[in-house]
């Protein structure tokens, strides 16, 4: 069967299931969690297999070697949890869902070809980060084509590292699991990250801490290089349409998927500079800037407090507030 027809039929069935089963009230959910779809019914209808905790991993059993990959992913997640716990005294509890474009689209219909930074939840497993399967995804195809036609000035890092391809884009999407997992460090470290973008900053810093460490490089070879290169590409390519962080304070931009890519890439790069400047000390500064018992800050107030505790990186306030001004942000280190 033609792939497009097959995926289209599958999407129709799973989207109907999503409409019938995922409308769970979220009024009492934390602000950063609202909008994360409950896809318990979709996971069941797709027949996705599950590796048991301590790290639940969902995968499509009909794919060759899917179970073997799922076990490998679980082991890597367990080692990452141990790494964070040993270094910071905090760990993460989330799991992983591995799927292709059809699965991604069923999980979050508004992101119809899948994006980095996507997360869902189920009643059985809790929060699950989405990662690309061992098959082409619509995101990889779209981003790979974009990189091929982009000006050399903005895709230079991709070309230099051999990442200007479908496979390179899918690697970027796959590696976002570490940012999503790292977001959970906010709870273990008692950082009052009540908004999605605050948790994303914590997650980005946690991801860099892991991926740039010797053990992280062993477990996820070249991961930091992929994130640096694609982050630079999306920030540079979409800078002309980028929006201030204050305009997306309550949720990721929903009207234009390009804005999600740019803003996520900007926060990822910010997290890299934070970690590069302060190291492990950063997480104590974040806890001081955003106390757990002080909710209700708007974006401006939260940024004011943040840069009071991170004065050496105050220049980043401009990139967060006015990303279109002054040319592209500096190249990431490394």
Cα 96-102-108 angle, rounded to 5 deg? 65
Cα Rg of the chain, angstroms: 19
pLDDT at 34: 58
Shortest CA distance to 132 belongs to which of 234, 228, 226, 12? 226
Contact 130, 120 (CB under 8 A): yes
Tokens encoding 14 = 């799973």
Tell me whether strands 119-122 and 57-59 are parallel, antiparallel or unpaired: unpaired
* Secondary structure (3-state) at 302: helix
Return the H-helix or E-strand segment holding 188: helix 185-188
pLDDT at 22: 39
Place of tokens 């899948």: 114
* Secondary structure (3-state) at 172: helix
Query: Beta partners for 97?
Result: 58, 130
What is Dmax (Cα atoms) for the chain?
59
pLDDT at 24: 39
Shortest CA distance to 132 belongs to which of 184, 222, 183, 69? 69
* Secondary structure (3-state) at 281: helix
pLDDT at 20: 37
DSSP assigned state of 332: P
* Residues 6 or more apart whose Cβ sits within 8 Å of residue 11: 102, 105, 106
Block means of pLDDT (10 residues each) for the chain, 334 residues, are 44 40 44 74 91 89 89 95 95 90 83 82 91 87 94 92 94 95 95 93 97 96 96 93 86 83 94 94 96 86 94 90 70 54
* Secondary structure (3-state) at 131: strand
> Structural domain boundaries of the chain?
10-321
pLDDT at 102: 86
Tokens encoding 154 = 């903005």
54 preceded by a cis bond (ω within 30 of 0): yes
pTM of this structure: 0.88
Q: Which CATH class is domain 10-321?
A: mainly alpha
Instruction: Give CA–CA dist 201/197, Å, rounded.
Output: 6
pLDDT at 142: 93
pLDDT at 25: 42
pLDDT at 37: 84
């Amino acid at each position: 069967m033609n792939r497009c027809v097959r995926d289209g039929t599958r999407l129709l069935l799973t989207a109907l299931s999503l409409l019938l089963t995922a409308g769970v009230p979220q009024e009492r959910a934390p602000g950063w969690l609202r909008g994360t779809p409950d896809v318990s019914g979709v996971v069941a209808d797709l027949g996705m297999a599950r590796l048991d905790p301590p790290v639940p991993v969902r995968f499509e059993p009909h794919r060759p070697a899917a179970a073997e990959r799922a076990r490998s992913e679980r082991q890597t997640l367990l080692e990452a949890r141990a790494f964070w716990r040993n270094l910071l005294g905090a760990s993460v509890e989330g799991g992983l869902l591995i799927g292709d474009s059809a699965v991604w689209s069923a999980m979050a219909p508004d992101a119809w070809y899948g994006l980095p930074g996507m997360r869902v939840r189920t009643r059985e497993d809790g929060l699950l980060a989405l990662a690309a399967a061992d098959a082409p995804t619509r995101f990889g195809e779209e981003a790979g084509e974009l990189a091929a036609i982009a000006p050399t000035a903005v895709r230079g890092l991709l070309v230099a590292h051999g990442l200007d391809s479908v496979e390179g884009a899918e690697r970027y999407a796959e590696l976002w699991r570490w940012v999503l997992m790292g977001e959970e460090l906010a709870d273990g470290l008692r950082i009052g990250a009540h908004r999605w973008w605050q948790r994303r900053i914590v997650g980005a810093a946690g991801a860099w801490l892991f991926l740039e460490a010797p053990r992280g490089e062993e477990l996820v070879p070249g991961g930091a290089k992929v994130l640096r290169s694609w982050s630079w590409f999306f920030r540079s390519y979409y800078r002309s349409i980028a929006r201030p962080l204050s305009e997306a304070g309550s949720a990721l931009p929903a009207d234009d998927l390009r804005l999600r890519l740019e803003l996520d890439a900007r926060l990822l790069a910010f997290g890299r500079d934070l970690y590069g400047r302060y190291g492990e000390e950063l997480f104590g500064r974040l806890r001081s800037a955003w106390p757990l018992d002080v909710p209700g800050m708007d974006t401006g107030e939260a940024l004011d407090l943040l840069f009071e505790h991170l004065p050496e990186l105050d220049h980043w306030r401009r990139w967060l507030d006015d990303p279109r001004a002054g040319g592209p942000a500096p190249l990431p280190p490394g």
